[in-house]
Structure 1
Amino acid sequence: MNFYDLLRSLGIADPSGTGWLAVVFTFALAWGVTWRFIPSVRSFALRVGWADQPNARRLNREPLPNAGGLAIYAGVVAALILASLLRPIVIEGVLAEVLSILLGGSILVLVGFIDDQFGLPPLFRLLTQILSALLLVANHSGIEATFGTPIDPLFSVVLTVLWVVGITNAINLMDGMDGLAGGVSFITAMSLLAVSAQFPSRAAATLLLAALGGAALGFLRHNFHPSHIIMGDAGAYFFGYVLAATSILGNLKVTTVFALVPPVLFLLLPVLDTTQVFIRRLMAGKNPLSTPGKDHLHHRLLALGLSQRRTAITLWGLTGVANWVAMKLQGMTPIVIHATMASIVMLLSFTVWQRMRNVASKSP
């Protein structure tokens, strides 16, 4: 098997073209920009006081810079801009979809950053998330319900809003431990990338997921325990929104409730974690979105005696299994699934090794 045959077996329709090179370039550039930009963001954040104080939700025992989301956002945007300049013919066909998702993500980055530093009412944050979800509907990029009823258009809007708002908050609520939200987002982005790359109609999702995956990996280089920066609400909202949007991009048609199973499986861990937290807090008479507490899955694993590193890796593993099943249900070939999982494991292992080597070199 030659190189072109290998690329075709991975689902690349035109190995001699430039589309797949644009995806690889976008991933690498987002990784590099985020990785190199974070130290500067961290230094500035410490000078101006952009930091999370220890609280009931987070595990840090001292103020921790919370502006990592700005570096993640910068990495994604820089990668997409340069990709559009170097590969304009590849990008121009999906520019409208990419820009609509980036616009919604930009709004949430701004709102999340303001909330990180000054605090915003939960209702205002919720309304902003709904507005960002409606941007997808306006661009015809949401879930399309086709039950054959007069209320199908309304039901499509409701499903899209619930999905986007739910996943955005699910990723944000998971961001309570070093490396967790970033690792889960990276695994999910790479798995969704492997699926979207098989379909020309999902080219916009492919580019966005390549940029998001690269940015997540670059962020993990600084965020795996012991972290010296966190993504904050700005980064968590951005990850959640883009993952939610790209998982339904390409005209996801819902004729039965089972059509939603594959997208849910890709994001199963955040969905399960948020669901059990919501139920427990509602039963306790608390506001699920604004009440902090150590009632997440990672808190339970920590209570069993696992370290933060082992807890993160355990939950990464569960995320990987769920994404493996989701790819199977999407009809991906074994070679695509195995290549995707192997790439995820190798990239995460290399990132963790680099982080541990850096920590060890600075230890007295």
Structure 2
Amino acid sequence: MNYLMYLLIPLVLSALLTPILKVVATRLEIYAVENERTVHCGKIARIGGVAIYVSFIICMAVFMKTDMTINGILLGGTIMFLGGLIDDMVDLKPRNKLLFEIAAAIMLMVVGKVSLDVIRLPFGIQIDMGLISVLVTLIWIIGITNAVNLIDGLDGLAGGISTIILIIIACLSVVDNRWDIHTMALILAGATLGFLIYNWHPASIFMGDCGALFLGFIISAISLLGFKSSTIMTLALPILILAVPIIDTLGAILRRKLSGHKFSEADKKHVHHLLMQRFGQRNTVIILYIVTALFGLTAYIYIVNKTAGFIVLFIIAFIVEVFIETSGMISKKFHPLISIWNLCKKKITQVKQKKCQKEKKEGIE
């Protein structure tokens, strides 16, 4: 029953720390700023990520035996947490925030010796990354870190999705007997759950960048460690499990690129904003929880049966693509599948009309 201990102890610690942080944030006036993008009202503390970080660090010290890899994760995570905390207090420029992300990633790679050296594909294909492994690893870490940060737009969204992702990783790591990944993922999931008690809509505290960036960084590091086995495709399962934040991030990049805006310029066209217009905040969060869980289930199905996994993935991917096109998430002009469908309907209609005209002509004759 150790897995319950790994989950419950950080949960209790985080749940006890979070109310204290609300008092501290109130006295220091560290609030989430209201603007045209935000959906909250009033002064809400935004350093809840401190509870997640402290609970995680304490439980890691108690339950995990340290080695260079763990040290690299903890040191890199601490750099990322501090960068986010500073941003929560003084609003760092995007460039300065990126410097913290790069420093954290380098710490993970240098101290922890974590890198993506080989990419494994279906049919036994392997790609040796060679010298560009450092660049690919850096892009993965920074990309996932920011992906989690970008979905932190609704009460309980980033924390809940991160928790689901971590529990899925913990379950899948058992397949490869990676009990270190299993323990680490459960500890962070527990710490996040304790915070979510206060972050569920209507939230009384936000995790802030210190929490979102820290969660994203640790998840990116764990995903690199947990899926290097030759029995499964490198990065395929992490991408699948992290599909919701990855799709949202890629959509934001394409959308802002096509509209001529900088990536750092925020907007209200994220997937959660679009869903919220139709379903409301709480229902939107639940929907995205379910979608994340479905992608995670697909990952597990793929391990058990690759053919079934691909079929389920195709169905989910098709539904997601239709939503992206109909919602205008990337652009109102971006609708390849719908265009193909409309073209097919037009062709079918034309064929029917010709057939009908032919039958009428033959009838007259």
Q: Aligning the two structures, in what range does the TM-score lie when normalised by the shorter sequence? A: 0.7 to 0.9
C-alpha distance after superposition, 1:160-190 (max 9, x if no partner): 1111100000000100110100110000000
Asked if the contact 2:275–2:284 (Cα under 8 Å) also holds between the matched residues in 1, the reply is yes
CA distance in 2, matches of 1:330, 1:174: 28
Aligned partner of residue 259 in structure 1, secondary structure: coil
Q: Find the counterpart in structure 2 of residue 48 from structure 1.
A: 28
C-alpha distance after superposition, 1:301-348 (max 9, x if no partner): 1112x1211110011000000011112223499xxxxxxxxxxxxxxx
Q: Pick from 117, 129, 135: which aligns with 1:158?
A: 135
Structure 2, unaligned runs of 5 or more: 307-365
Q: Pick from 25, 29, 40: which aligns with 2:5?
A: 25
Q: Pick from 257, 282, 298: which aligns with 1:282?
A: 257
* 1:244 aligned onto 2:224: no
C-alpha distance after superposition, 1:111-151 (max 9, x if no partner): 00111110112122212212222233222222122689998
* 1:301 aligned onto 2:275: yes
CA distance in 1, matches of 2:128, 2:305: 33
Q: Pick from 189, 194, 209: which aligns with 2:171?
A: 194
Q: Find the counterpart in structure 2 of residue 313 from structure 1.
A: 286
Paired residues in the alignment total 301
* 1:228 aligned onto 2:204: yes
Q: Find the counterpart in structure 2 of residue 140 from structure 1.
A: 113
CA distance in 2, matches of 1:229, 1:149: 46
Within a 5 Å distance, the mapping from 1:49-64 to structure 2 comes to 49-64=29-44
Asked if the contact 1:41–1:68 (Cα under 8 Å) also holds between the matched residues in 2, the reply is yes
Q: Find the counterpart in structure 2 of residue 5 from structure 1.
A: none
Higher relative CO (CA 8 A, sep ≥ 6), structure 1 or 2?
1
Asked if the contact 1:57–1:293 (Cα under 8 Å) also holds between the matched residues in 2, the reply is yes
Q: Find the counterpart in structure 2 of residue 347 from structure 1.
A: none
Q: Pick from 202, 210, 214: which aligns with 2:186?
A: 210
CA distance in 1, matches of 2:10, 2:231: 36
- Structure 1 residue 276 displacement after superposition: 0.6
Q: Find the counterpart in structure 1 of residue 55 from structure 2.
A: 75
Q: Pick from 120, 142, 165: which aligns with 2:92?
A: 120
* 1:184 aligned onto 2:164: no
Asked if the contact 2:119–2:234 (Cα under 8 Å) also holds between the matched residues in 1, the reply is no
Within a 5 Å distance, the mapping from 1:5-20 to structure 2 comes to none
Asked if the contact 2:11–2:194 (Cα under 8 Å) also holds between the matched residues in 1, the reply is yes
Q: Find the counterpart in structure 1 of residue 314 from structure 2.
A: none
What is the RMSD computed on CA atoms of the aligned residues? 2.4
C-alpha distance after superposition, 1:244-302 (max 9, x if no partner): 1101105727999x6322110010000001111111112222221x2121111111011
Question: Quick check: 209-218 or 152-161, which moved more?
Answer: 152-161
CA distance in 1, matches of 2:275, 2:266: 18
Q: Pick from 80, 84, 92: which aligns with 1:108?
A: 80
- Structure 1 residue 44 displacement after superposition: 1.2
In our comparison, the structure showing a higher alpha carbon Rg is 2
Distance 1:197 1:146, change over 3 A: closer
Asked if the contact 2:119–2:128 (Cα under 8 Å) also holds between the matched residues in 1, the reply is no
Asked if the contact 1:144–1:252 (Cα under 8 Å) also holds between the matched residues in 2, the reply is no
- Structure 1 residue 215 displacement after superposition: 1.1
Aligned partner of residue 51 in structure 1, secondary structure: coil
Asked if the contact 2:227–2:234 (Cα under 8 Å) also holds between the matched residues in 1, the reply is no
Aligned amino acid, residue 214 of structure 2: F
- Structure 1 residue 101 displacement after superposition: 0.7
CA distance in 2, matches of 1:332, 1:42: 47
Q: Find the counterpart in structure 2 of residue 323 from structure 1.
A: 296
Q: Find the counterpart in structure 1 of residue 339 from structure 2.
A: none
Aligned partner of residue 80 in structure 2, secondary structure: helix
Q: Percent identity?
A: 33
Question: Quick check: 121-130 or 149-158, which moved more?
Answer: 149-158
CA distance in 2, matches of 1:275, 1:319: 16
CA distance in 1, matches of 2:289, 2:268: 19
Aligned amino acid, residue 11 of structure 2: W
Return the TM-score normalized by structure 2.
0.77
Aligned amino acid, residue 209 of structure 2: D
Asked if the contact 2:159–2:192 (Cα under 8 Å) also holds between the matched residues in 1, the reply is yes
- Structure 1 residue 214 displacement after superposition: 0.2
- Structure 1 residue 198 displacement after superposition: 3.2
Asked if the contact 1:46–1:65 (Cα under 8 Å) also holds between the matched residues in 2, the reply is yes
